[in-house]
Structure 1
């Protein structure tokens, strides 16, 4: 067993680092959600912000859009031209995806400054693409409501998770310490 641990030391280190960072950040995010003040920013600040930014983006695209708190669920209702097309829930705010991204990058960390800048740039990119994703999904749901299942469950997760995967692959091939050791 010891020989296997020594042989696969870098794999074990990656897995333990990834799981530790993911657990700590997920726990911190859960505490944030548990203690967020839903009276000022409903249902929580980040979900509210993403909903409002999606609304602004849709307005920029020329759609008459409104965001209103959902009466029965902890979410924001997104209305396009008076038609209820989508709910923006906590899972739509991209924080969980950013936590997954961060955990991987930290597990494959490179130089501190490079790692920090990549985490910052990648997180901003993921967040921004997510806002565009919600806006485009809303337009799609407004114009093609019968395509809801494929739009929401297949195409748009593919966009966000596909981009995260590409960011990971770019990181590993260009900046991680693992790349430097193999060279």
Structure 2
């Protein structure tokens, strides 16, 4: 869902939250970061030291990745309490790693703009999906009822 006041667009709540938290992390690292609503689309413009670097869009908020993670764990569920605890802790971990992924991507784009294509399309998706894959492997091997041996 998107919101507009006629002069700028605002993305959904989670995308806005991720953008603001990324801004705070970048500022805590000594950079001058600012996120602003994009004037033409439902996204947030990320500015770093006065340079427009990127847009933070709905796909950057990790919600779809968390849903994918959640779905897999449910499909291979174990005991209810452990399943719920793993979903919660895994979702928090994915969310936090995603924030750091955005920060690292922003710094990469700022310091190495010529590498933007490989950073955005290869390296940084590999971070988030690679971590989810490792969480899945750990889940299936450690807690899933499908890993239980008969006898």
Q: Which residue of 2 aligns with 1:63?
A: 31
- Does 2:54 correspond to 1:78? no
Per-residue deviation at 1:138? 0.4
Per-residue deviation at 1:42? 2.1
Secondary structure of the corresponding residue to residue 10 of structure 2: coil
Q: Which residue of 2 aligns with 1:108?
A: 76
**Higher gyration radius (CA):** 1
Q: Which residue of 2 aligns with 1:157?
A: 125
Contact kept? 2:33, 2:49, Cα under 8 Å? yes
TM-score normalized with structure 1 length = 0.78
Q: Which runs of 4+ in 1 moved over 2 A?
A: 36-39
Q: 1:133 to 1:42 in 2, by over 3 A?
A: same
Q: 1:142 to 1:168 in 2, by over 3 A?
A: same
Contact kept? 1:47, 1:92, Cα under 8 Å? yes
- Does 2:138 correspond to 1:180? no
User: Which runs of no fewer than 5 residues in structure 1 stay unpaired?
Assistant: 1-32
Equivalent pairs counted in the alignment come to 148
CA–CA separation in structure 1 for the residues paired with 2:109 and 2:85: 36
User: Which runs of no fewer than 5 residues in structure 2 stay unpaired?
Assistant: none
* CA deviation profile, 1:100-142 (whole Å, cap 9, x unmatched): 0000000000000000000000000000000000011001001
Secondary structure of the corresponding residue to residue 72 of structure 1: coil
Q: Which residue of 1 aligns with 2:105?
A: 137
The structure carrying a bigger strand percent of its residues is: 2
Q: Which residue of 1 aligns with 2:10?
A: 42
Secondary structure of the corresponding residue to residue 84 of structure 1: strand
Contact kept? 2:3, 2:42, Cα under 8 Å? no
Query: Please, which of 123, 134, 139 is the counterpart of residue 166 of structure 1?
Result: 134
CA–CA separation in structure 1 for the residues paired with 2:60 and 2:14: 9
